[in-house]
Structures are given as C-alpha cells and as structure tokens.
Amino acid sequence: MSGTSISSLVVRAQTGDRATYDRIVHRFQDMAVGYARSLLGDFHLAEDGAQEAFVGAWIEWPKQRDPAAFSGWFRRMVFMRCSRLQRRRHRAVERAGEEVLPLAAVDPGEVLASRDEKAWVLGAIGRLSEEERMATTLFYISAYSHPGNRRIFGFAGGDGQQLAALGP
C-alpha cells in the first residue's frame, strides 16, 4: 500500500474521496471475507457479509471518529452484518424445514462422505477459540500469516504453533 497509513486513508475517504475508499476496500477485502467466513461458515455468505460491511462503512463514515481505530471499527461492522445474515439464514432454514439434495448424477456415498468430512472439519474449527478460528480461516482462505493475523486483529500471545499444527 506504498506506506500510506490507514489513518490518512480514512481521513481522505471521509471527505468523499471514492478512489481512496477503493484503496481501503482493496486493502481490507481479504480480511473482511476471511473474518466473515469464520463467523458464517460459508464462503458465499461471507462474500455477501463483507460486501454489506463495506457498503455500511461507506454510509457510516460520519460515526467513525477516530481514523486510527478503523480496523477495529470495521471488524465490528463485518461482525454486525454477518450476524444479520446469520439470523436471516436461520429463519430461512426454519421455514424450509427440509434439506434439498442435488438431483445431479452423483454417487450418494460420495455426497455423504463429503458432508461428513466437511462437518468434521467445521466442527474442529468451531471448537477453536474465536482468535484461533479467525486466524485459521484467514490463513487458509487468504494466506494471511499467523503474525499478520495477530497484527490485524491485535491477538495476544502465542507464535502460531498450535494453528500451524493443523496443517499446511
């Protein structure tokens, strides 16, 4: 990002500078999608949540009083948008009542094995602490390093060895 601080970018974007806001979006998009994925458990919903958070951030600029606190403020924005998506999704599942299976010519055994494996992995990730879950998701989706995750979210302690033990 050529050394430009987030504070100076936020100040310029708050004046309505769309190009500067685009730079902020570019800088935070992987983090936003990764964090949203860790909250929602679904990549496509995570993209929706991140997009809604960026739109919300653009609308809510006047409430952002401390440009240096943008990262935390925006993280909260992603969290709120994802919570809203999660509530909507939960209501839709309650209304649907049943799971719809794909009609494609797929081996049912493979579908079940794939679901079991996905459920196992998501369960294992779900048992991690919130910090470890976010770091793991960001590492595998966006290739953020463990030290980079600590820097972005201000995580305390550890050198990432526990998360590194989960796999490549």
CATH code, domain with 48? 1.10.1740.10
Burial degree of 159 (CB within 10 A; 0-12, 13-18, 19+): exposed
The parent domain of residue 27 ranges over 6-164
Q: What is the pTM of this model?
A: 0.54
On whether residue 1 sits in a domain, the answer given is no
Q: Which residue shows structure tokens 């990002």? A: 1
Q: How far apart are CA 148 and CA 35, in angstroms?
A: 13
Number of domains in the chain: 1
Q: What is the pLDDT of residues 65-100, one digit of tens each?
A: 888 888 888 999 999 999 888 887 666 555 555 555
Identify each DSSP E strand in the chain by its residue range. Answer: none
Band (pLDDT 50/70/90 cuts) for residue 109 is: low
Percent pLDDT > 90 in the chain is 12
Distance, CA of 12 to chain centre: 25
